[in-house]
Amino acid sequence: MANGFLVVDEKDWKDLTPERRDWLIFNTLQALDNRMMALEKRPLSDKCWSFMGGIVGGFAASLGIKWAS
């Protein structure tokens, strides 16, 4: 399990029983839910800084595209 997610390739998936597949899907959904809850609990200031960073990054990208062409 890397970073809280189970990594299963196609070969391993074919060899799993249906019960084990269901368990892996359940664990993955639980991990996603926990990560989303952690993101939603972040303070408003973090969200505002992320928004402002997106604006600055978008503006910088637009300038870079304008200067490149």
With respect to residue 16, please indicate whether it lies within any of the assigned structural domains: yes
Q: Is residue 37 part of a domain?
A: yes
pLDDT in tens, 18-60: 999 999 889 888 888 998 898 888 888 888 999 999 999 999 9
Residue 10 buriedness (CB in 10 A; 0-12 / 13-18 / 19+): exposed
Q: 47 in a domain, yes or no?
A: yes
Q: Quick check: is 2 in a domain? A: no
Is the pLDDT at 69 greater than 90? The verdict is no
Determine if the pTM surpasses 0.75: no
Number of domains, the chain:
1
**Residue 1 belongs to a domain:** no
Q: Domain range spanning residue 51?
A: 10-68
Residue 57 located in a structural domain: yes
DSSP assignment of 5-47: B----HHHHHHS-HHHHHHHHHHHHHHHHHHHHHHHTS-HHHH
